[in-house]
A = this chain, B = another copy of it.
């Protein structure tokens, strides 16, 4: 991002950059719908009480209050409003509230802005767009959806103008079952430390496991051994078994992870890795966890993450278990733009500028434009009858490929010509039938390599 924005952490795109973002959003929407996901949106605000259920995140929340709110009678914390920081917690609330109106398993996609009051840095904004898919069941949700959602995201990401990616998958049951099997009971604590592996390295993690959680050096070593396993197929199962730990939960986790990695690596070889170091920070995951890195851009962090949650959406009586994945659209688009991975074929939707011969011809030029638009050709009409050279330069500056000329002969008949201002070619054309070549009809976003 060469251009500085006026508020750090709140990126805004120029029109030609926005075309790249729109392309990413359109591809995601199209793919999610092809897989049967319905669109919903939730309100931008939740109650603070609802948001803090998730824990660990209270520092990052933006609270919202009316400028003139009665300062003597502030709302209680539970009723205060704050901007959502992801789309999973709001979705869970939506499902609980609308359970009676939805058909389960409920498949939805949701593409919206979220806000986090974090310190802005490369790849980490305060306002950014996420694109989520989730499936939730009423009471139960077959494990198969954990496999399916990975496949949907692989399909979606494959269609974007981004480098090759790797979906890293792990399973909380596997990890927790293993830790319990070696005698570490604070499994959340172990996961929290394993999560720092990439940042601080194995020695410091081992030290922290011993210091903070009272692990023995052997226990710490075993936990790190597990976290070092990484395979592109289901061979991780044998590697874990070779560590000699055996619990029911571990076995369940091994089977689940093998099902995801086996099926995904069969259908999309090379895009999936069983990575037993993946922890994901969020408390609500209970089984499969996913994250995704762009090859060669691992430092950017995960661009698509998620997992299985058994009880995030729950009333007293009912539970709606779910599994979902979230694309970091802003993070992806920022990287696409800053590295020039893709760009739009032109800056504006307009394919044709309808020029004016004289000031009186404006309304007639609107008729021509109307005929073209009726066939899906985007056009603008010149606002004034400047010299043709000036009208052509205006089109050039805006990146409009064609200029339309209408001339009235002395007997009143109209003749039309259209000029491709890139080649200079000019030919007669009928506003009732002429269409630009397909590749010029709309701006197209192309990979830089393509």
Binding site for B on A (CB under 8 A): 3, 5-7, 10-15, 18-19, 22, 33-45, 47-48, 58-68, 81-83, 93-94, 97-98, 101-103, 105, 107-108, 113, 115, 117, 127, 142, 144-145, 148, 151, 155, 263, 266-267, 347-350, 362-363, 366, 373, 376-381, 383-384, 397-398, 442
Contacts and interface: CB of A to CB of B under 8 A. Distances in A.
A377 to B, nearest CB: 8
Contacts of A142: 383-384
B67 A82 contact: yes
18 contacts: A6-B97, A7-B43, A10-B43, A11-B43, A12-B42, A12-B43, A33-B378, A34-B373, A34-B376, A36-B348, A36-B349, A36-B378, A38-B348, A44-B115, A59-B67, A67-B82, A145-B383, A266-B363
A375 to B, nearest CB: 10
B363 A127 contact: no
Contacts of A108: 15
A431 to B, nearest CB: 14
A142 B359 CA distance: 12
A442 B144 CA distance: 26
B101 A3 contact: yes
Contacts of A45: 7, 10, 127
Contacts of A6: 93, 97
A105 B379 CA distance: 15
A349 B37 contact: yes
A446 to B, nearest CB: 18
A434 B377 CA distance: 31
Contact of A33 (B11, B83, B349, B362): B349
A101 B14 CA distance: 8
Contacts of A43: 7, 10-12, 127
Contacts of A103: 347, 397-398
Contacts of A82: 67
Residue among A35, A36, A44 with max Cβ neighbours from chain B (10 Å): A36
Contacts of A11: 43
Contacts of A102: 14-15
| Copies of this protein chain in the complex | 2
Contact of A117 (B38, B66, B101, B373): B66
A331 to B, nearest CB: 16
A378 B34 contact: yes
Nearest to A108: B15
B42 A44 contact: no
A93 B60 CA distance: 27
A65 to B, nearest CB: 6
A93 to B, nearest CB: 8
A12 B37 contact: no
Contact of A64 (B62, B145, B350, B379): B62
Contact of A107 (B40, B380, B442): B380
- Report which residue of A10, A145, A366, A383 has the largest number of chain B beta carbons within 10 angstroms of its beta carbon: A383
A379 B36 contact: yes
A38 B347 contact: yes
Nearest to A3: B101
B39 A12 contact: no
Contact of A67 (B40, B48, B127, B347): B48
B67 A58 contact: yes
A401 to B, nearest CB: 13
Contacts of A113: 44
A144 B382 CA distance: 10
Contacts of A12: 40-43, 94, 98
